Chains A and B, each alone.
Chain A
Amino acid sequence: MTTIQKTDSRALLPNGLRDILPPNAAFEAATVESLLATFSGHGYDRVKPPLIEFEEGLLTGSGKATAAQTFRVMDPITQRMMGLRADITIQIARIAATRLADAPRPLRLAYSGQVARVKGTQLRPERQFTQAGVELIGAGGVDADAEVILLALEALGGLGIGKLTVDLNSPRLVPTLCAALGLDAAPTEELRKLLEQKDIAAVAALAGDKAAPLLALAEVVGPAETVLARLDALDLPGEAAAHRESLAALTRQIMDKAPEADVTLDPLEHKGFEYHTGNSFALFARGARGELGRGGEYVSDLGESSERCRGVTLYLDSVLDVTPRPGPVRRLLVPSDLNRDTRRALVADGWVTLPALGTEANATEAKRLGCDHLLDQTGTPRPV
């Protein structure tokens, strides 16, 4: 049996929190920058809201769903309760509705930052993680939905992630349909849960003679090319039909414009889309345990008049799981008295330069510090 080196007990961190070490910290930062560069190139300007703000601000509108996940702390100055953000979307909506209320619409904003959650989930036990995303504020319709989805695919594709799956959803479809069928709130809630779990037998039992339209909807879960025709053929009443048309139009547009992605449909999904009012979506890739990101349409009523918004949030922990890692960096040991201009030129050349502090720059020291190269007498990097 091999014995393992133990860490000092002082290194223990609270559940769900961790130190990210080299080279992972740099990998994450570079990945975030790559995503934001794509967002910026597509017209989304970066904003940076604070980590903590008054809880009323965080927990209104689309933020209500995060109330149970938000760490709170008393502000000793104002004696008001503050929340540590569990999601950034609501902060962007606040900025758009207040400080940027006069900016021309549609307003395109991008962000990245840390969020903290009181409790992790089974698949994402982390209580602090990085998010990056965009919000498209003051625009509605299928074209706006498609813009955000295609941008997310562009940004993830730019990282070299293999085949992506876009799962398209319409979280209002089931409740609208249940209301049209004359079902009350309590059975509707239970039916949504069962439909989400795809527990068709239980849905049939609970909905009784009203089950048929719900069961037909359950047949629309799967690869878009096979189930889209079934979606079109559904016999739906009024408002539900409008949701269906919007979802079908979005599906056609994504299939047409993003042939590199796999498109699946799931009109039964609503988890995490509680505040969404139109189409929504989640992004998946083989090899990642959960979603890479999700987003959709919601209405922000924080400003003087309500605005239609849509956005996407990417979860960096899942994204990093499937992002190809960069090759090893070239580390070069240089004499500590090396001329600054020479060192600057080496750094510009892509070298990571480490000075041999208090010792001679030799092969032994280079190996000890994990350098694969050593700057020799003639000023040329040589492998060690």
Chain B
Amino acid sequence: MGFDANNGTDKLVIALPKGRILKEAMPLVHAAGIHPEPAFDDPNSRQLRFATNDPDVDIIRVRSFDVATFVAFGAAHIGVAGNDVIMEFNYPELYAPLDLGIGACRLSVAETESLRAEDDPRRWSHIRVATKYPEITRRHFAARGVQTECIKLNGAMELAPALGLCRRIVDLVSTGSTLKANGLVEVEQIVDVTSRLVVNRTAMKVRSREMTGWIERFREACHDRAA
């Protein structure tokens, strides 16, 4: 069966992440001139795909990790995704032309305070880490000659060290209060995270005019907010 990057129509599909980032992203989406139908703001709605004021634009709301996947495979044309997610998947079909400057936090290594006192990272040959980001974690430690066994968790990473699942975690940190509450200290920062506008490579080529137009609208929205 033939794959159709347009879902059978010429509609543009924008993928937005659920949760934390969405609240910060919406003012930019509005400023770019896109207003979703009322069901989008209704917490009881089971709808996943939403019409907008522009009949040629639909919005889908998916998990933040899935935004990158939908856009990379061309199921959505534009999306909002953190560079943590972009780095984790490293999809060659994804362009990230615009830093939206929202959702700022950092991806860091954290460990228990007691471990920190006795540990010498220069002697590591193998470590075990609980994380939602196994690829970034492996690459990060491989670059300094350490083999990593990653335990993939989808949330509540901070619990893992206390319960003996592992002694270190790699996770997003914004204020550090969750780490502190769980007796963990941030020992190393891997990367600063902000949300990016991502676009599908093929869409960027075959709908070049339209896509550059949208990137420009989002760029102006960011610029206006900063001003």
Contacts and interface: CB of A to CB of B under 8 A. Distances in A.
Interface of B: 2-6, 72-74, 83, 86, 91-99, 196, 202, 205-209, 212
A111 interface: no
A290 B204 CA distance: 12
A67 to B, nearest CB: 18
Contacts of A266: 205
Nearest to B69: A122
Nearest to A272: B92
Given A287-B5, A288-B5, A289-B5, A262 B96 contact: no
Given A262-B208, A286-B5, A289-B202, A197 B95 contact: yes
Contacts, number: 76
A203 B208 CA distance: 22
B205 A287 contact: no
Contacts of B97: 198-200
A201 B215 CA distance: 14
Nearest to A320: B2
Interface of A: 121-123, 163, 165, 167, 197-202, 221-223, 226, 262, 264, 266, 271, 282, 284-291, 320-322
The 9 A-B pairs of least Cβ separation, nearest first, read A201-B99, A198-B97, A198-B95, A284-B205, A321-B2, A223-B208, A222-B212, A289-B3, A264-B208
Query: Max chain B CB contacts within 10 Å: which of A197, A226, A288?
Result: A197
A114 B129 CA distance: 42
A289 B73 contact: yes
A262 B196 CA distance: 28
Contacts of A264: 205, 208
A286 B6 contact: yes
Contacts of A200: 97-99
B202 A284 contact: yes
A290 B96 contact: no
A165 B205 CA distance: 7
29 contacts: A122-B72, A122-B73, A122-B92, A123-B73, A123-B93, A165-B208, A167-B205, A199-B83, A199-B196, A200-B99, A202-B99, A223-B212, A226-B212, A262-B206, A264-B205, A264-B208, A271-B92, A282-B205, A284-B205, A285-B206, A286-B5, A287-B4, A287-B5, A288-B3, A289-B5, A289-B74, A290-B93, A320-B2, A322-B2
